[in-house]
């Protein structure tokens, strides 16, 4: 892991303690060759939606490490569609794979729909994109995409199956998949 990525990870860890949080979420997702850990905190009031500050870390057997921090405004998408939540915001990524190091600022969001009639089943889509102008070091762009099916086991715990992909275009034009595949995970709300 590169020196820059280590410094970024330390900064993100320290920033996480400077936010006053109301609600918190911890997520762990695993596949045969990768592990991802995420932590998010809702901050602010509910008058115009709530801000969610989060950070995460992913590593895999292909020697890829991805650190992220995010700030997203989340709320119900509309009264006419109960169970539909959406969020818009940005993520700062610091990543390395082998000798290459990447830094990117992406914009995007999420949409999550919980099926009505208390079925406990929900579907979610997350996507973030950093174009060339906000991608630095060895990155020419950066993309994160996730599609997830969740089942609420308890009111404060859900299990999920997701497909997640992190990719970047390296300076010079070649594509580099940092991580992709299907994962099983849990989300704990407290």
pTM to 2 decimal places: 0.84
**Residues of the chain predicted below pLDDT 70:** 1-22, 44-49, 79, 173
End-to-end CA distance of the chain: 32
How many folded domains does the chain comprise? 1
C-alpha 154/C-alpha 152 separation (Å) is: 6
**pLDDT for 169:** 85
Cβ count within 10 A of residue 165: 15
Q: Which two tokens stand for residue 29?
A: 């997702």
Domain interval for residue 162: 3-189
Q: What is the CATH number of the domain that holds 174?
A: 2.40.128
**pLDDT for 117:** 75
The β-bridge relationship of strands 157-170 and 139-154 is: antiparallel
**pLDDT for 22:** 62
C-alpha 71/C-alpha 65 separation (Å) is: 20
**pLDDT for 177:** 86
The 10s digit of each residue's pLDDT in 42-82 is 876 655 568 889 999 999 998 899 999 999 998 887 767 77
**pLDDT for 134:** 95
**pLDDT for 184:** 97
């Amino acid at each position: 892991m590169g020196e820059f990525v280590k410094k970024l990870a330390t900064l993100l860890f320290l920033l996480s303690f400077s936010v006053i949080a109301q609600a918190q979420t911890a997520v762990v997702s695993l596949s045969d060759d990768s592990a991802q850990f995420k932590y998010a905190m809702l901050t602010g009031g509910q008058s115009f939606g709530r801000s969610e500050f989060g950070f995460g870390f992913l590593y895999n057997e292909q020697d890829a490490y991805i650190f992220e921090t995010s700030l997203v405004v989340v709320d119900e998408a509309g009264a006419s569609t109960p169970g539909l939540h959406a969020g818009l915001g940005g993520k700062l990524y610091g990543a390395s794979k082998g000798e290459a190091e990447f830094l990117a600022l992406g914009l995007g969001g999420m949409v999550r729909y919980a099926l009505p009639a208390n079925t406990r089943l929900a579907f979610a889509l997350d996507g973030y994109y950093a174009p060339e102008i906000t991608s630095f070091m060895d990155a020419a762009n950066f993309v994160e995409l996730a599609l997830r099916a969740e089942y609420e086991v308890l009111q404060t715990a859900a299990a999920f199956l997701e497909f997640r992909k992190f990719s970047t275009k390296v300076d010079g034009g070649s594509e580099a998949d940092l991580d992709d595949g299907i994962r099983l995970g849990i989300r704990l709300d407290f």
